[in-house]
Amino acid sequence: MKKNSNSKPDFCLALTTVSKNSKARALAKSLVKEKLAACVSLIPISASFYFWKNNAISDKEILLLIKTRAALIPRLKQWVIDHHSYELPEFLVLSINDGHTPYLRWIRENTR
Question: What is the spatial distance between Cα 104 and Cα 57, in angstroms, rounded to a whole number?
Answer: 37
For residues 15 and 66, the answer to whether their CB atoms sit within 8 Å is: yes
Residues forming a β-bridge with 16: 64
Distance CA 85, CA 96 (A): 27
Q: What integer pLDDT is reported at residue 1 of this predicted model?
A: 53
**Is 11-109 a CATH 3.40.50.970 domain?**
no
pLDDT digits 0-9 by tens, 7-17: 778 999 999 99
Strands (E), 1-112: 11-18, 39-52, 55-69, 92-96
pTM: 0.92
Q: Residue 41 and residue 58: Cα distance in Å, rounded?
A: 22
Note the pLDDT of residue 106. Answer: 97
pLDDT one digit per residue (tens) for the chain, 112 residues = 554 455 778 999 999 999 999 999 999 999 999 999 999 999 999 999 999 999 999 999 999 999 999 999 999 999 999 999 999 999 999 999 999 999 999 999 999 9
Q: Where are the domains of the chain?
A: 11-109
